[in-house]
Structure 1
Amino acid sequence: MTTAEHRTSGGGAVEEVDSLFRALVDDGDVPGLAYGIVDRGGLVHAAGHGVARLDGDRPDAATAFRIASMTKSFTAASIMTLAAEGAVRLDDPVGRYVPEFGAVRPPTTDSPQVTVGMLLSMAGGLPTDDPWADRQESMSREEFGRLLTGGVRFVSVPGTGFEYSNLGYAVLGRVIEAASGTPYHEFVERRLLRPLGLTATGFDTSVAAPSGVATGHSRLDGRWHPEAFSDPGVFSAIGGLFSTVEDLARWMRWLADAFPARDGADDGPLRRASRRDMQQVHRAVSPPRPAGRPGDGSMPVTVGYGYGLMIQQDPVWGTVVAHSGGYPGFGSHMRWHLRTGLGVVVLTNARYSTGRVPAAAALRAVLADLADPQEPVALWPETAEARAAVEGLLRGWDPDAAAAWFAGNVDLDLDLGRRRARIESLVGEVGPLLDPAEPKEIVRSDSPAHVIWDVRGARGVLRCEIRLNPQDPPRIQTLDVTRES
């Protein structure tokens, strides 16, 4: 499927997004790139700029690029697949699967053993190692074994902090092989790529991308120079995949489709609960120094690492899931809004040029055009019923209704006699109350068991808040009625 065949429903944001990415080529930051806008239905718009190869064609959504560290989401999904089958436990010591790592000396005598889950969440205590690790892809299993037995260094006690470690994900590749009895590359292809129809994704230049494979480049003396491709090896688990915008749109859609949690069919290579687990914060990420001002709208704040994915908080839109990739000759970035499934992916053929900043701006533009910043909350039916019951109590106190709806703590927190007197006094100040038939618009709801709304009277407004307890059926545990100034 070529770019022209994609449906375009990005609204007015398409031109803005295209301008953001086209500027990377126009400003000389990359020789070429391809990008796409994704929603819960798949790829809605895609385009390319520049050249896939020097003096070559323009890249498009079917051109394969190396996606570098975005590969880690595939490695994490592979571990989660094995965990769901009981072949791996996330709290297992890594040495159970990779004996050479079991012989690694910890940083202190009281350090815990490094577990699978620690490596997944970048909490293994190993140092950040991007430039070195990016040149190790072709390392053989034998060489990797010798590297581990020769000793590795730690920068923190395992399990106590975040440190981005490629070596840790290379070890996870060996865990996958040991637990499955299958080479890492074959496991990813057989258990993820094929079932999901990612036919243009693979670990070498033979990948079946309809528009071919882009050449990677580095800039030297003001000119772009092609970078040689590295061959697959142990470090492919950190960043070895080639893929296209089309395939990554399917990958992003599949991960985003884990939300919201729901009843119904849950088929596929990994259940929704495990995919949701990948997109939760498992290790907090400390802000850079000096820390920027949160909420200034410039960039989302990264709050933590999940499993193979970064979790960020946009000051307006809330939770965004993302990951960049940087490799000799290539840069990439994918991100999606957790609530709506709207996302953006960009692939470039310039060394370490991830496109992260324009991608973040592009997603905000798409969200501003297509989404509502306020997340709607579906109330429990009982919450709506309780709200109506409170409206009834405001208009005429009924002891039987109060007894039916109030949990036992309500009378203990403020005896019902005083509570009734206070409410009747407030109603007297703002009354008579208007529109008794239906409760009006919700002011805020933090969960299905919580709601805040206003009740209008002839001389003022009452703000009401209720929160239901966890019983089944639930009862009102909090009732606050105040006069709005």
Structure 2
Amino acid sequence: MNQGEVSYFEHRNAPRGSNVPGRDMLYEIGSITKVFTTILLKACAQDDYVSLEKPISEYEYLEPLHHNPYWSKITLQHLAAHTSGLPRMPANIKPRNRLNPFADYTEELMLSFLSDYNGEDRIGTYEYSNLGFGLLGYILCRATGCTYDELLHKYITGPLHMTSTSIHLSAEQKKRLAAGFTSTGRRVPHWDLSVHEGAGGIKSSVEDMMIFIQSNLTANASQQNTAIPHYFQAIHSPVSLNGTDRYLGWVLEKQPECEYLWHNGGTYGFTSYTAFDRQTGTAVVVLSNYCFASMYILDILVSQLLSKWRKSGPMMPVDEIGKQLMSELRNLHGSASNR
């Protein structure tokens, strides 16, 4: 998208007999879900369901955590900024199906792990955590008495008329859900995120995601469209946590000639990327039913998790295709400005 003009490009082999347009196909967007979860956090805080700065130990429905002093030092903002000290994944995840590793990880398992966990020495340090966002989504649902899909519809997809975006799909939506494939061409099952829904459970279409990203751009316009919830803009600026400015949900990419907000995602059969430049009004969405993982890499990951491996590290590298597209869009914007 460049200055409000949207262009779609696709490269695919459509299943025999399929008449679903490419822009209407549904994909797992993986960790881009975290941006949606952070928007929901801001919306729920605005409606007084939760507090951004209230210690997690004070939420009555998290009784298993009340005895642990670590949780009196952690807020929902820490979870949203990946600065809570929580690891990327819980050490007690033991998937029965390595191709669908989150499916049998329950609320009870998560709370059991968290009740005795202590990451106090890492509070304030950036450590990308799927577990943290799983907990964040769980808390938002408990605080409101709603499912994640109900919150999504109330605050985001309903107001924006995004009819192809949810975690649990209708029968009609399932017919439009693309199959996922590994880099070896093997078809793999769709992921069930269970209690980790807020970390990566959303499925969406490129058309819906363009509505979403355009709404983020419009939220920054001088004459804001009143149909765009103002809590979209609330996560476009950093917050101060433990003396350091941190972004909630989005990631800031700074280059000599520009800066933009981005996030990507990956499940076992899908890869996704989205970014937008507030200065030039350009944005890009890339959705693919192809993942660069291999069985060998996944086996290593699972074995590390089962041996209680934990290691600080960044999120997935910036998608180079996405960076190239953002660069091309900025060039188009510059050419148009010089005419």
- TM category (shorter chain) comes to 0.7 to 0.9
Structure 2: runs of 5+ lacking an equivalent: 294-315
The one of 27, 30, 33 equivalent to 1:68 is 30
Change (3 A) 1:313 1:234: same
Does 2:271 correspond to 1:307?
Answer: no
Opposite residue 323 of structure 1, the aligned amino acid is H
Count of residue correspondences = 304
* Correspondence 1:357 to 2:317: no
Structure 2 Cα separation of the partners of residues 370 and 130 of structure 1: 44
- Rounded Cα–Cα distance in structure 1 between residues aligned with 2:9 and 2:125: 39
Once the two structures are TM-superposed, the CA of residue 235 in structure 1 deviates from its matched residue by 0.6
Choose from 330, 334, 339 the match for 1:367: 330
Task: After TM superposition, list the pairs within 5 Å mapping 1:148-297 onto structure 2.
Answer: 148-149=114-115, 151-154=116-119, 156-158=121-123, 160-206=124-170, 208-209=172-173, 212-219=176-183, 223-260=184-221, 262=222, 266-268=226-228, 270-271=229-230, 274-282=231-239
Counterpart-to-counterpart distance in 2, 1:75 and 1:153: 24
For the aligned residue pairs, the C-alpha RMSD in angstroms reads 3.3
Cα distance, 1:373 vs structure 2: 11
Structure 1 residue 277: Cα displacement: 2.8
Q: 1 CA distance for matches of 2:126 and 2:106? A: 28
Structure 1 residues 273-313: Cα deviation after superposition (integer angstroms, max 9, x where no partner):
x32331223479xxxxxxxxxxxxxxxxxx97522111111
Q: 1:54 Cα shift?
A: 9.6
Amino acid at match of 1:237: G
Amino acid in the other structure paired with 1:50: R
When residues 256 and 135 of structure 1 are mapped into structure 2, their CA distance, relative to the original with a 3 A threshold, is farther
Q: Secondary structure at 1:200's aligned position in 2?
A: coil
Cα shift at 1:199: 0.4
Shift, 1:69, TM fit: 0.2
Q: In proportion to residue count, which structure has more helix?
A: 2
Larger RCO of the pair (alpha carbons < 8 Å, separation 6+): 2
* CA deviation profile, 1:47-80 (whole Å, cap 9, x unmatched): 2113366997897211111000000111111110
How is 1:78-157 mapped onto 2 (pairs within 5 angstroms)?
Answer: 78-97=40-59, 98-104=62-68, 106=70, 113-129=73-89, 135-137=101-103, 139-149=105-115, 151-154=116-119, 156-157=121-122
Unaligned runs of 5+ in 1: 1-37, 285-302, 375-485
Name the aligned partner's letter for residue 58 of structure 2.
Answer: R
CA pair 51-211 structure 1, distance change in 2 beyond 3 A: farther
SS in 2 for 1:203: coil
Distance 1:73 1:53, change over 3 A: farther
| TM-score of the two chains, using structure 2 as the length reference | 0.78
Shift of 1:87: 2.2
- Whole-Å separation in 2 of the counterparts to 1:119 and 1:173: 10
Q: Give the Å deviation of 1:344.
A: 0.8
Structure 2 CA distance, aligned partners of 1:154 and 1:341? 40
Q: Map Cα deviations across residues 241-266 of structure 1 (whole Å, 9 max, x no partner).
A: 11011000000111121214x46764
Instruction: Report deviation, 1:129.
Output: 3.4
**In the superposition, relative to structure 1, how do residues 166 and 361 fare at CA in structure 2: closer, same or farther (>3 Å)?**
same
Contact 1:127 1:165 in 2 (8 A): yes
CA distance in 2, matches of 1:39, 1:200: 23
Report percent identity of matched pairs: 22
Residue equivalent to 1:328:
268
Which deviates further from its counterpart, 358-367 or 176-185?
Answer: 176-185
- Measured in 2, the distance between the counterparts of 1:52 and 1:156 equals 51
Counterparts in 2 of 1:329 and 1:263: CA distance versus 1, 3 Å: closer
User: Matches of 1:361 and 1:207 in 2, distance apart?
Assistant: 36
Q: Greater shift after overlay, 343-352 or 116-125?
A: 343-352
The CA deviation at 1:218 is 1.6
Alignment partner of 1:343 out of 283, 286, 290:
283
Considering fraction of residues, name the structure with more strand: 1
Question: Could you say which structure has the larger radius of gyration?
Answer: 1
Q: Which residue is equivalent to 2:7?
A: 45
* Counterpart for residue 288 of structure 1: none
TM-score by length of 1: 0.56
Letter in 2 for 1:256: L
SS in 2 for 1:194: helix
8 A contact 1:217–1:226 mirrored in 2: yes
Q: Tell me, what secondary structure is at the counterpart of 2:286? A: strand
